[in-house]
Amino acid sequence: MPGLYVHIPFCEKKCIYCDFYSIESFRRYDDFISALHREIDMRAAVLPDDIVFHSIFFGGGTPSLLTDVQMGGVLEALRARFRVEADAEVTVECNPGTVDASQLRGYRSAGVNRLSFGVQSFHADDLLFLSRIHTAEEAEHAIGIAQDAGITNINLDLMFSLPGQTPERWMYNLERARDLGTTHLSCYSLTVEQGTPLARMVVRGMVAMPPEESDAELFTLTMETLEGWGFRQYEVSNYAREGYACRHNLTYWRHEDYLGFGPSAHSTWQGRRWWNLSSLDHWLGAVDEGRLPEAGGELLDRDTLRREYIYLRLRSEGIDLVDFRRRFDADLVRDNRAFIDRCFAGGTLRLEDDRLLLTREGILLCDEICAELE
């Protein structure tokens, strides 16, 4: 079932590794909130009203900058304009340094039932390096008040393969996260994205990224450890306790439709994908003029859909070969027989109930395998 995404493009401070669209100036914050309502209205006006959505996700940027009243207002608008299931999953990404108890209680009563905290690490020096604005203690505190406010479905974002990170230091982070009673963990390998301050630091030799081998070692340690604790890895970087997989993100990986609002948000709707203007000013300008703030788009033909389906499914729940045949009128295994056989032999792919899945070794080589499958 489709999902709704809202992008909140403001941050108190941008992190050195982040390449999502966000700005540190709040000058047009109020304009943004009212324009967001207008975009929701405009989009709803051009879409059929019989589609039922099962998730809402606030990403950013820092969505937890929204007051409970603002959050309530946007959620109300979405529910008024679209058919959203009563028990839909409603997630807000939070910066642990920007939340307080009454705000989270307000979120709870506005319908927010899942929080995702960008904790990244429980080591002070890591947080300093990553230029995060919160401390480890603030993170623990924020999770505590969230649980007190009645939001118990909680994800933490954690980052491994930081420069100089040992397996012990990483294990400490995983243990602290577990002990906080979280239902979900997103563990990302620190990636140097082009154009970020981190990329410049690496180019200048100020930061040495860990070699591929130790990156693979920490990743493997993560997968083994979390599985041992009862978390199921249902996507390359995502682990959940039984029943707590993120419904919204599964929308993407299952190649289902989603609508995005706010600067730089992407949408995929019935064979078409488009993306909004990413600059806040341009996005505001378009909405003010009563135009849908699209920057570009593409039609997804069957070949494109097929390629996307392969890598989205492979990195998450695996490729259901029956579903694949139904969608694309093709036999994936037969079309890639030699390669898939080599992967079976090499232990990177496995077949289970007509489903083609990556093994743990295969997850490490996911992109390599996706580039081969056709």
Partner 1 sequence: MDTTRNFCIIAHIDHGKSTLADRLLERTGTITERDLKMNQVLDDMDLEQERGITIKLHAVRMKYQHSDGVEYTLNLIDTPGHVDFSYEVSRSLNACEGAILVVDATQGIEAQTISNLYLAIEAGLEIIPVINKVDLASAEVERVTQGIVDLLGCAHEDVIPASAKTGIGVEEVLTAIIDRVPPPVGDAAAPLQALIFDSVFDPYRGAVVYMRVVHGTIREKEVIRFFANDKEFEVEEIGFLQRGRHRTGTLSAGDVGYLIAGVKTVADTNVGDTITHAKNGAPERLPGYKEVKPMVFSGLYPTVSDDFEDLREALSKLHLNDSSILYEPETSAALGFGFRAGFLGLLHMEIAQERLEREFGLSIITTVPNVEYYVVLKESLERVTIDNPSDMPEPGKIDHIEEPFIRAQIITPSEYMGNIMKLCMDRRGIYHNTQYIDPTRADIHFELPLSEIIFDFYDKLKSVSRGYASFDYEFKDYRESDLVKLDILLNGEPVDALSSVVHRQKAYDWGRRLCRKLKDLIPRQMFEVVIQAAIGTKVISRDVVKPLRKNVTAKCYGGDITRKRKLLEKQKEGKKRMKQVGAVEVPQEAFLAVLSMED
Query: Encoding tokens for residue 133?
Result: 């604005």
Q: Which of 178, 241, 307, 355 binds partner 1 (CB under 8 A)?
A: 307
Q: Which of 129, 219, 244, 283 binds partner 1 (CB under 8 A)?
A: 219
In angstroms, what is the minimal distance from the CB of 316 to partner 1?
9
**Residue 14: CB partners within 8 Å, gap ≥ 6?**
22, 23, 24, 131
- Binding flag, residue 348, partner 1 (CB under 8 A): yes
- Binding flag, residue 189, partner 1 (CB under 8 A): yes
- Binding flag, residue 119, partner 1 (CB under 8 A): no
Residues 129-158 that bind partner 1 (CB under 8 A): none
Q: Which of 168, 213, 352, 353 binds partner 1 (CB under 8 A)?
A: 213
- Binding flag, residue 346, partner 1 (CB under 8 A): yes
Strand ordering across the sheet containing 266-269: 232-235, 238-240, 184-189, 154-160, 114-120, 83-94, 52-60, 3-8, 258-261, 266-269, 272-276, 294-299
- Binding flag, residue 302, partner 1 (CB under 8 A): no
> What string of DSSP letters covers 250-283?
HHHHTT--EEEESTT-EEEETTEEEEE--SHHHH
The answer to whether the beta carbons of residues 25 and 60 sit under 8 Å apart is: no
Which is it for the CA torsion 65, 70, 75, 81, positive or negative? negative
3-state secondary structure of 83: strand
- Binding flag, residue 117, partner 1 (CB under 8 A): no
- Binding flag, residue 370, partner 1 (CB under 8 A): yes
The answer to whether the beta carbons of residues 318 and 356 sit under 8 Å apart is: yes
Among 205, 212, 97, CA closest to 145: 97
Q: Which of 52, 124, 206, 371 binds partner 1 (CB under 8 A)?
A: 371
- Binding flag, residue 364, partner 1 (CB under 8 A): yes
Q: Which of 270, 304, 331, 335 binds partner 1 (CB under 8 A)?
A: 304
Q: Which of 34, 109, 166, 191 binds partner 1 (CB under 8 A)?
A: 191
> Which residues here bind partner 1, judged by CB under 8 A?
5, 20, 59, 188-189, 191, 212-213, 215-216, 219, 236-237, 249, 251-253, 258, 260, 264-268, 273, 275, 298, 304, 307-308, 311-312, 315, 338, 342-343, 346, 348, 363-372
